[in-house]
Amino acid sequence: MELTAARTPRSVVVFDYGFGNVRSAERALARAGAQVEITRDFDRAMNADGLLVPGVGAFAACMNGLKRARGDWIIGRRLAGGRPVMGICVGMQILFARGIEHGVETEGLDEWPGSVAPLQADIVPHMGWNTVRPPEGSQLFAGLDTDARFYFVHSYAVHDWTLETVNPALRAPLVTWSTHGEPFVAAVENGALWATQFHPEKSGDAGAQLLTNWIGTL
C-alpha cells in the first residue's frame, strides 16, 4: 500500500493594521484549514504562504493605517514576487487607484485602475445577503452553486472594470459582479491578487468554501 504524506497546512497572515475584523477572519481561515496568525510583523507578513488584508471603515482611514504599518510596501513586494494576497471589503477597495468619499479623492494602491465611488441605490448601505455572477473558469467560486449568497456591508463600490490585458500570453483577470441598485465589482481574481467586496468570513458555508478555494491555491 502506498503511503501519502500529510500536507503541511498553508500559513496565512491576517494583516493587522487597525482596520478589519481580524478575529472573524482568523477563525474562518482556521476552519478552512490554514495555519493563521494575526500580525503586522514585516517578516512574517512577507514570508507567509498567503496574506489576507481585511478592511472596515473609510477608504482614506484604511489607506493611512495601511501605510503606517508599511502594508502598502508589503503588498507590493509580495505581488512583485508572485506571492498571494487577498483583500476583503475595504481591503479590496484600496487595491484600486483611488477612492472618492464625500467629494474627497484619496489615492489607493493602484494595483488595478478604477475608482471606488458611492453606490447609487434606494437603500444604502448595501447590508445583507446577495448573489454574485462569477465568470466561467473562476477558481475562487469553484464548487459553489450559482445561487450561493454572500454577506455585504458597504456604501461604496467599483462600478467599472477598465484593466485591459495586452499580452495574450497572460491570463485576463476574472471579474465577478453583483447588483445593488446598479452593477458593481464583487470579486476579482488576477494572478496572485484576489479580492472580494463581500465578507467571506461572515458568509456561512459559501464563504467557508470560498476561503478553502483560496487556501488551496497557495
Beta pairing, strands 182-190 & 156-158: unpaired
Beta pairing, strands 182-190 & 174-180: antiparallel
Cell (9 digits) for 48: 507567509
Q: Which residues are catalytic?
A: 89, 199, 201
Measure the CA–CA gap between 58 and 102, rounded to whole angstroms: 11
Residue 170 binned pLDDT confidence (cut-offs 50, 70, 90) = low
Has residue 12 got a pLDDT over 80?
Answer: yes
Cell (9 digits) for 6: 500529510
pLDDT at 168 (0 to 100): 58
Q: What angle do CA 176, 66, 36 make, to 5 degrees?
A: 70
Has residue 2 got a pLDDT over 60?
Answer: no
Q: How far is CA 126 from CA 8, 68, 182, in A?
A: 39, 29, 11
> What is the pLDDT averaged over residues 209-214?
98
Measure the CA–CA gap between 45 and 63, rounded to whole angstroms: 17
Q: What is the pLDDT of residues 143-167, one digit of tens each?
A: 999 999 999 999 999 999 988 765 5
Q: What is the pLDDT of residues 60-109, one digit of tens each?
A: 999 999 999 999 999 999 999 999 999 999 999 999 999 999 889 999 99
Measure the CA–CA gap between 150 and 33, rounded to whole angstroms: 20
Residue corresponding to grid cell 478575529: 23
Residue boundaries of the structural domains of the chain: 11-99+111-216
pLDDT at 1 (0 to 100): 43
pTM here is 0.93
Q: Are 159 and 182 in contact (CB under 8 A)?
A: yes
Residue 8 binned pLDDT confidence (cut-offs 50, 70, 90) = confident
The residue with greater pLDDT, 102 or 40, is: 40
Question: What CATH number was assigned to the domain covering residues 11-99+111-216?
Answer: 3.40.50.880
The residue with greater pLDDT, 169 or 103, is: 103
> What is the pLDDT averaged over residues 35-64?
96
pLDDT at 140 (0 to 100): 98
Ranges of beta strands (E only) in 45-140 are 50-53, 85-88, 96-101, 104-107, 112-118, 126-131
